[in-house]
Structure 1
């Protein structure tokens, strides 16, 4: 009943043109049926914006999702803060993370495959220039995290909770005018849980908002600032090392910083796209292939490593990474494949990420030594 009253109150505020207060649902399963009822995002003058108490963030190297752009936000209950740890922050109960997937549009309404961002830190997303697809919510309850998929209505007024997910065939147009067909999939709640179980048996965990992903500058409405420092200043993060000493940092995808090596760029990409499964405690640990940042580049990272039981997924290649020969590497085959029995990652894409594959190809081609 309490959850229903909160939902009704939020809807009444939204109807009056005011942003409802962010909900705090520490227990139970009485989740809002509409995204607007959460109070995290709201429409203002034709733009989708975060609530004043909600903070946007971005990642150094993000997970590829059929070329969709993503607007990410974090909210924590008043007076609560996450506790810094190099591997994973300890987020307080009540934390709400949102990730809105969208595509930029041309003047005719066509969906664009472009790296050009249309997000304005002051005004949000101009709804005339974007097509909203879905918003995923991660809510930290007392008994763990829960994943909730919301699908945007055709009129782009609101998104509705869809436990079973959704799918849609889309055509994207590149900056050069080339078309690309994608079969966009909104994961169901179980698929969300499967990808976010980074440590087997420990349930859902946030994947993106970690130190190495967040350690970058962000253009906030009041100026550019390092995200981790900004979180600390806003009271959302405790225990951040002074001066960011020793805080890990992944490479900035597409625009590497000075000094970021090709290996760091490639490993950051594999971290973001693969290590949530391929880590010592992850669902793919039995494969013996570990692509997390802590694993040194050697046989466990795939160098000259023969697959345990790849079968068709090997593409008739003999080892995961063949130094100097990306075309002979299982890793490249699986990143390029669209075969559901071979492609990696298994979920979240219906097409290959040309730019990401090219980066990993260049890195493997640069490796010396071969396999004896």
Structure 2
């Protein structure tokens, strides 16, 4: 008798637990579900993870580097509300908005279950998935999904780490380290992928020291102004959001647009400025956490000195690598900027968070950029001339 009661009780608890998993996107105004499934954002079934209706997949013109992880980005808003366009900063999103960013890697063929594979591959065009129709999980190692949730009191950042089965993710406020082996051709590099804790999320997303309010980094006009597949076909993402009623106020012309950092046709200056903008400017701007460094790397800054040309560091030490200036035109080998971007020493590297590996292609771009700058630095650290060849 007791056994039957125990079975019935277990079945009831299981049914109740399943009932708590919403079939559609559910905005939580106050509580933070312990699992990602509690938000009703995705369905994991049949070897795929798919977004629920209303979630719009988007991509950045130039993405931030995170240890070569691939990223699937979505934004969702409740019916009847919309975001308002801003030319420079993040759009003004309404209460109820949920932004997701899922970090994942491609795993080798024949590696067994992708979720338990310790080896992850450097992404190639053949392994790229847009995420518009979800992800085929046959060779995908899901790592984490970060949420930005717009509540009445402002944005809240929540990191969810995927389980070993790839069926759900658990809220990890204190972050996590995931040991992986990065495979790039014949080379293999062991590293710990670091999921940030909740406070570290604010380290990048609180872009204005005066308010210290968290806000999205990528959901800005200059990062979204590009064509991408989705509803309506492969069209401009801003126009898609307008057509769906998700965004208002987009002007017909003069919308900012960053270069694609890999587009050699744009030239190394435009490529490098786009790369530095997305990777560094959330801190290195006039009101950011690194404002006192005097190195401002946002897209609007044009003053050569603020861009590091012949500018000595605010503080000396091993972070400079005994180099005299942030940027020495024509001489990347004596410039601090590429030295810190290339380093994986926690006391030297920039950015300080979000990576354990060197982004070799990114560093190569900055080297080409600095090599193409003309001018000379004098001992009194005044730029004689700085510009692009």
Q: Same fold (TM over 0.5)?
A: yes
Aligned to 2:374: 368
Mapped to 2, the partners of 1:308 and 1:138 lie a distance apart of 33
* Partners of 1:120 and 1:186 in 2: CA distance: 22
Partner Cα separation in structure 2 for residue 122 and residue 65 of structure 1: 21
Report the equivalent of 1:301: 307
Could you say if the C-alpha distance between residues 133 and 121 of structure 1 is closer, same or farther in structure 2, counting changes exceeding 3 Å?
A: closer
Instruction: Give the distance between the partners of 1:50 and 1:177, measured in 2 at CA.
Output: 35
Aligned counterpart, 1:83:
84
Does residue 135 in structure 1 map to residue 145 in structure 2?
yes
Aligned 8 A contact 2:301 2:307 in 1? yes
Q: Distance in 1 between matches of 2:189 and 2:337?
A: 23
- Return the match for 1:25 from 14, 20, 28: 28
Decide whether the 8 Å contact of 1:32 with 1:161 is kept in 2. Answer: yes
Query: Which ranges in structure 1 are unaligned for 5 or more consecutive residues?
Result: 1-7
Deviation at 1:254, TM superposition (A): 2.1
Q: Partners of 1:357 and 1:307 in 2: how far apart?
A: 19
- Is 1:232 paired with 2:239? no
* Aligned-residue CA RMSD (Å): 1.7
Task: State which structure, 1 or 2, has the greater radius of gyration over its C-alpha atoms.
Answer: 2
Does residue 291 of the first structure (1) align with residue 291 of the second (2)? no
Question: How many angstroms does 1:312 deviate by?
Answer: 1.6
- How far did residue 11 of structure 1 move? 4.2
**How do residues 1-372 of structure 1 correspond to structure 2 at under 5 angstroms?**
11-12=18-19, 14=21, 20-26=23-29, 28=30, 30-88=31-89, 89-109=91-111, 110-116=119-125, 117-121=127-131, 123-174=133-184, 176-202=185-211, 203-220=213-230, 223-242=233-252, 245-256=253-264, 258=265, 260-372=266-378
Distance 1:263 1:10, change over 3 A: farther
Question: How many angstroms apart in 1 are the aligned matches of 2:16 and 2:153?
Answer: 26
Contact 1:41 1:50 in 2 (8 A): yes
User: Normalising by the residue count of structure 1, what TM-score does the alignment of the two structures yield?
Assistant: 0.91
Please list every run of 5 or more consecutive structure 2 residues that lacks an aligned counterpart in the other structure: 1-14, 112-118, 379-389
Q: Deviations over 1:132-178 (max 9, x none)?
A: 0000000011111110000000111100101111002211112x332
Measured after TM superposition, the shift of residue 300 of structure 1 is: 1.1
| Kept after mapping to 1: 8 A contact 2:210/2:287 | no
**What does the per-residue CA deviation read over 1:206-247, in whole Å, with 9 as the maximum and x for residues that have no partner?**
1011100011111126521110000000000000112xx111
CA-CA distance at 1:122 after TM superposition: 5.3
Contact 1:317/1:329 (8 A) holds in 2: yes
Q: Is the 8 A contact 2:259 2:271 kept in 1?
A: yes
Inter-CA distance 279–10: structure 2 relative to 1 (3 Å threshold): farther
Distance in 1 (alpha carbons) for counterparts of 2:16 and 2:238: 33
Provide the TM-score with structure 2 as the length reference: 0.88
1:13 and 1:169 mapped to 2: Cα distance?
Answer: 32
How far does residue 45 in structure 1 lie from its aligned partner after superposition? Answer: 2.5
**In structure 2, what is the Cα distance between the partners aligned to 1:369 and 1:96?**
47
Structure 2 SS opposite 1:65: coil
Q: Distance in 2 between matches of 1:320 and 1:169?
A: 33
Local SS of the residue matching 2:138? coil
SS at match of 1:191: helix
The structural deviation recorded for 1:297 is: 4.3
CA separation in 2, counterparts of 1:184 and 1:163? 16
Between the aligned partners of 1:87 and 1:183, the Cα distance in structure 2 is: 34
- The alignment covers a number of residue pairs equal to 354
Change in CA separation of 1:188 and 1:227 when aligned onto 2, cut-off 3 Å: same
